[in-house]
Amino acid sequence: MPNRQKEVDMSLRQFIKDLGYISGGATILAGMPWLQSFTPEKAKEIKKEKARIGFIGTGSRGQYSIHAVSAIAHADIVAICDNYSPNLQAASKLCPNAKKYTDYRKLLESSDIDGVIISTPLYLHAPMILDALSAGKHVFCEKSMALTMDECKAIYDAYQDTDRVLYFCMQRMFDEKYIKGIQMIHDGLIGDIVGERCYWFRNHDWRRPIPSPQLERQINWRLYWDYSAGLMTELASHQLEVCCWAKQLVPESVMGMGDTVFWKDGREVYDSVNLIYKYSDGVKINYESLISNKFNGMEDQILGSKGTMNLATGVYYLENEIDRNKSGIEQLISQIGNKVYSSVPTAGASWRPETQDKYTSHQILSGKFNINQGQSMIGALKDGSDEILSAFCQACITGEKGDNIVEEAYQATTLCLLGNEAIKEGKKIFFPEEYKIPYMKF
C-alpha cells in the first residue's frame, strides 16, 4: 500500500460532530450505534493508508457513487468493472488511473483492492456479495439486499461467519433529518405511534434506450421479474426500513394489490402498488407507489397520538396546536367567524374542534437542509449517500463493522419481497419463521 498521510473526510466528521450540538446528541449516538464508529475521535485511527476501492457496475448509479468516492479523502478508486462497454468507458473517464475489468471475478482476485462497491442489477447482488466476501473483500452494495428471501438469508448467514465489513446503501440511516427526527419520535414528541403512511410517486417509464433488442433485459432489468422485484425493492425498501426504525418493530403480516395501470409496454413488474403492513399491536403501514403521476412526490409520515413527523420533508406538526391558548368556546366562535363551519355543532362546555384548518410546521433541524422530492432515477444530493459511502471507506481501513446496517437492510428487503408475494397470491402473508433473525422484534 502507498504510505501516504491520510486526511479526514471533514463532511462526515462535521456531520457526526454536529450531533453533539443537537439536543440529545449523546442519546442519538447510543440509540443508533452505526454512527458511533465515525465520530471525530475515531478519525484518529485513520493515520496512513487510503482504502483501495474497486467498483463492480458502472452504470448511472455506479457513476454517481464514483463521483462521491472520488471526493473522499481517505479513498482511492483503483479498479472498475462492467460487462457493458459504454458504461465502462464512461467510468474510465471519471477515474482514468483505475484498472478496467469486464469480469468481476478477475477484479476480486486482485490483492490491490480492499473493498468493492457493487452497483449492479438486483439479481446479481447475492452472487457478487457472496463471491466478494469469500475473496476476503469488504463489500458495499446498493439496495436492496437480494432478489429472493433465500438469497437474503444466505447473505446474512455468510456475514455472521466473516470478519469482513458489509454495508448496504440504506442512506436514510446517515441522513441528519431522519436521524434527529427518529430520535424525537423515540423521545415521545409525537406520542404513541398510531400509524405510518409512506408513498413514492413518479411519472417515468423506467425505460432506458437500447442499442439493440438483444440488450433489452440487460439494460431495462428493472422491468422484469427475473432481474428485479419492481417498485418494492427499488423504492419501498428505503421507506419500510424507516417505518421499522421508527416503530422499533417489524410488521408481522402484509396484504396488498399491484397492477400495470399505465405503462403497458411489455414490462412484467407492476407500475402501481398498494400495501398494508400490520404490526402485532395493530398499528399499520399504508404504502403506495406508482410511476405514472408525480403530483404527491415522496413522503415518509409517522403518525403519532400527539403529532405527525414528515421525515422526508424534515418537518413535524403537533396535534391541536392552533389556538392552543384559547378556550373551547373561543375556538368555536373563531371558527364560525371565519366561516369554517356552515352550521354550529352541538357540544358541551369543553368542546374543541376535531379538525383544524391548518397546522403549524416545525423544522426537525435548524437552518437549511436538503429535501429529496424522490424524482431522480440516479440519486439525490445530501441524502446520506455520501456519508454512508465515506463510512464504508473508513471501515475498509479499520475493519470495524457498522452495527445494525446489515440487519436493517435484511428486514427491509424481506418485507419488500413478502409484499410482492402477498400481491401475487392475493392474500395476507405472515412473516415466515425460517427467515426471522435475532435482530427482529415483532
Residue 357: predicted pLDDT? 58
Residue 93: predicted pLDDT? 97
SS3 (DSSP) at 55: strand
Strands 272-278 and 253-259: antiparallel
Q: Which three cell numbers stand for residue 350?
A: 369543553
Q: How far apart are the first and last CA of the chain?
A: 46
Residue pLDDT, tens place only, 65-99: 999 999 998 999 999 999 999 999 999 999 999 99
Nearest to 224 by CA among 260, 252, 266: 266
Residue 344: predicted pLDDT? 40
Contacts of 286 (CB under 8 A, 6+ apart): 195, 196, 197, 198, 275, 276
Residue 362: half-sphere exposure toward Cβ, Cα within 13 Å? 15
Q: In which residue are the cell numbers 399505465 written? A: 262
Residue 347: predicted pLDDT? 40
Q: In which residue are the cell numbers 441524502 written? A: 383
Alpha-carbon distance 175 to 15, whole Å?
Answer: 9
Contacts of 179 (CB under 8 A, 6+ apart): 19, 28, 32, 35, 173
Alpha-carbon distance 44 to 230, whole Å?
Answer: 42
Domains and CATH numbers, the chain: 10-173+382-404 (3.40.50.720), 189-376+409-435 (3.30.360.10)
Q: Which three cell numbers stand for residue 89?
A: 468507458
* Residue 196 contacts residue 236 (beta carbons within 8 Å): no
Q: Which amino acid is at 11?
A: S
Contacts of 358 (CB under 8 A, 6+ apart): 322
Nearest to 405 by CA among 395, 419, 420: 395
Residue 35: predicted pLDDT? 86
User: DSSP states of 121-166 as a string?
Assistant: -GGGHHHHHHHHHHTT-EEEE-SSS-SSHHHHHHHHHHHHT--S-E
* Residue 293 contacts residue 201 (beta carbons within 8 Å): yes
Residue pLDDT, tens place only, 367-396: 777 777 766 656 666 788 998 999 999 999
Alpha-carbon distance 276 to 256, whole Å?
Answer: 6
SS3 (DSSP) at 32: coil
Q: 355, exposed or middle or buried, with CB in 10 Å at 0-12, 13-18, 19+?
A: exposed
Strands 166-168 and 138-141: parallel
Q: State the Rg of the chain over Cα.
A: 23
Strands 429-430 and 253-259: antiparallel
Reading the chain (442 residues) residue by residue, the pLDDT tens digits are: 333 233 334 555 666 666 655 555 566 777 888 987 766 666 666 766 799 999 999 999 999 999 999 999 899 999 999 999 999 999 999 999 999 999 999 999 999 999 999 999 999 999 999 999 999 999 999 999 999 999 999 999 999 999 999 999 999 999 989 999 999 999 999 999 999 999 999 999 999 999 999 999 999 999 999 999 999 999 999 999 999 999 999 999 999 999 999 999 999 999 999 999 999 999 999 999 999 999 999 999 999 999 999 999 999 999 987 545 555 555 555 444 444 443 344 343 444 445 555 789 999 988 777 777 766 656 666 788 998 999 999 999 999 999 999 999 999 999 999 999 999 999 999 999 999 999 999 9
Alpha-carbon distance 441 to 249, whole Å?
Answer: 5
Residue 368: predicted pLDDT? 75
